Amino acid sequence: MITKNVRSTIASHLMLKKGDKVLVAVSGGVDSVVLLDILGRLSTEYSLSLIIAHLDHRLRGEESSEDARFVAKLAEQYGLPLIGESIDVRSIAEERKVGIEEAARFVRLRFLRKAADDAGATKIAIGHTANDLAETMLFNLIRGAGMTGLAGIKPVNAPFIRPLIEISRSEIVSYANEHGLSWREDRSNADMAFTRNRIRHQIVPALSELNPDVIGALLRTSEIVREEQDAFFELLERPWQEALKIEAEEGKICLNRAYVAHVSIGIRRALLRRALERVRGDLRGIGKVHIDSLCQLIASARAHGEIHLPGLLAQVQGGELVLISRYSRPETVAPQEVPLG
């Protein structure tokens, strides 16, 4: 039944085409093990070539090494090539002055993209489930979020695909047990010091008492929000073309300051968020306070000025708003204003 549902998810979101070479991210946890097994079963139907990728973050000592050995045995069992790497995430976090979670995400994405390039893979499959989607939506809601945050995890964000995104964690575990699959448990998933774990083990069960199908309800909500977001982005295209002056260089965008200042506040914020995402690659670490600061910078009577935001520098230069990418600490919250001349 799950395989049928995964096939439906793949088809509805156009995740795969025949002949794709797919890098499968396998941590050793139940989600990634089931993902690997199902893609293996679908590989003939889609003429897929599968490669396993595993990153040892060196965060849990011998347990991390055991995870790597477990995945190596999986690769041998399935007769698939394995690309593995071991990286000291704590050192990366210290070097970049960011938290462990942010450093781990940075290292993981860099590893997966490089592994896919080296292997000639066209897709990177990730084992996110419907529960991960629901927990992300709740996490974003608690912090305060707009449409993007409330939409949760995208089923497809090229080259990444998430074939299990509409499958619940309980279904995943049932599948693993029914097919005699073994997996590794990450003890940090039970650590209540992490907000995500409290959402998983406390908030979601409490919500399930109000609605036993709360995961399904949040999954449907995510779909509705994504559809409405897509419609809004279509409507945003004309204002974006009016606002955009230069996007000639990677990591730099120039907008028409006067145009952005005089459109409605909702369109203004959307234009700024799109510009920030184009410059930075994502909107992680960007909150309402940063968008508010950009709005104030644009509306000021001063001809010149700049503010530092996470990952970029924003400048007003006469009639232009210029956004320039740079490395910045993601945890930065308060923008810092530095007058020019």
Compute the average pLDDT of residues 225-254: 90
Q: Are both 67 and 13 inside the same structural domain? A: yes
Average pLDDT, the chain: 91
CB 162 within 8 Å of CB 128: yes
Query: What average pLDDT does this structure show over 149-160?
Result: 94
CATH number at residue 270: 3.30.465.60
pLDDT recorded at residue 78: 97
Note whether 123 and 176 are same-domain residues. Answer: yes
Q: Would you say 57 and 85 are in contact if contact means Cβ atoms under 8 Å apart?
A: no
Do 16 and 149 belong to one domain? yes
Rounded-to-integer distance, Cα 261 and Cα 269, Å: 10
Residue 5's CB is within 10 A of a number of other CB atoms, namely 15
The mean pLDDT of 233-261, rounded to a whole number, is: 90
Q: What is the pLDDT of residue 329?
A: 38
| 118 and 18 part of one domain | yes
| pLDDT of res. 132 | 97
> Does pLDDT of 336 surpass 70?
no
What is the structure's pLDDT at 334?
41
Q: Out of 120-124, 160-164, 309-313, pick the least confident.
A: 309-313
pLDDT higher than threshold 90 for residue 97: no
Domain-embedded: residue 229: no
Tokens of 212: 């036993």
**CATH classification at residue 158:** 3.40.50.620
Classified as helix, coil or strand, 129 is coil
Residue 253: per-residue pLDDT: 93
pLDDT digits (tens, 9 = 90+) for 251-278: 789 999 999 999 999 999 999 999 998 8
Asked if the model's pLDDT at residue 21 lies above 60, the reply is yes
Q: What is the pLDDT of residue 186?
A: 85
Indicate whether 204 and 260 sit together in one domain.
no
251 and 216 within one domain = no
Residue whose token pair is 């700049």: 306
User: Are 85 and 25 within one domain?
Assistant: yes
Are residue 200 and residue 299 in the same domain, yes or no?
no
How much is the average pLDDT of 316-333? 70
Kindly indicate the confidence band of residue 249, based on its pLDDT and cuts at 50, 70 and 90.
Answer: low
Q: Which residues have C-beta within 8 Å of that of residue 197, sequence separation ≥ 6? A: 189, 190, 191
What average pLDDT score do residues 147-168 get? 95
Cβ atoms of 134 and 96 closer than 8 Å: no
26 pLDDT higher than 90: yes
- Domain assignment present for 280: yes
236 found inside a domain: no
Domain membership of residue 62 (yes or no) is yes
Q: Number of folded domains in the chain? A: 2
Q: How confident is the model at residue 298 (pLDDT cuts 50, 70, 90)?
A: very high
Q: What six digits make up the tokens of 60? A: 């849990």
The more confident residue out of 283 and 29 is 29
In a domain? residue 210:
yes
Q: Are residues 176 and 297 located together in one domain of the fold?
A: no
Is 301 contained in some domain? yes
pLDDT attached to residue 164: 98
Mean pLDDT over 194-217 rounds to 95
Q: What residues form DSSP beta bridges with 320?
A: 256, 317
pLDDT tier at 311, thresholds 50, 70, 90: confident
Flag whether 242 is in a domain.
Answer: no
User: Token digits for 57?
Assistant: 């973050």
Check residue 248 and give its pLDDT: 58
Q: Which one, of 300, 323, 321, 190, lies nearest residue 250 by Cα?
A: 323
Same domain for 283 and 195, yes or no, is no
- Which of 141-145, 230-234, 331-335 holds the top average pLDDT? 230-234
Query: Does residue 167 carry a pLDDT above 70?
Result: yes
Cβ neighbours, 10 Å, residue 191: 12
Pairing of strands 312-317, 320-325: antiparallel
Same domain, 265 and 212: no
Residue 227 is assigned to a structural domain of this protein: no
333 pLDDT above the threshold of 60: no
Q: Kindly state whether residues 79 and 191 are assigned to the same domain.
A: yes
**What domain range is 295 assigned to?**
247-338
The mean per-residue pLDDT over the stretch 201-223 comes to 97
Q: What is the DSSP string of 36-85?
A: HHHHHHHHHHHT-EEEEEEEE---STHHHHHHHHHHHHHHHHHT--EEEE
Measured between alpha carbons, how far is 247 from 268 in angstroms, rounded to an integer? Answer: 18
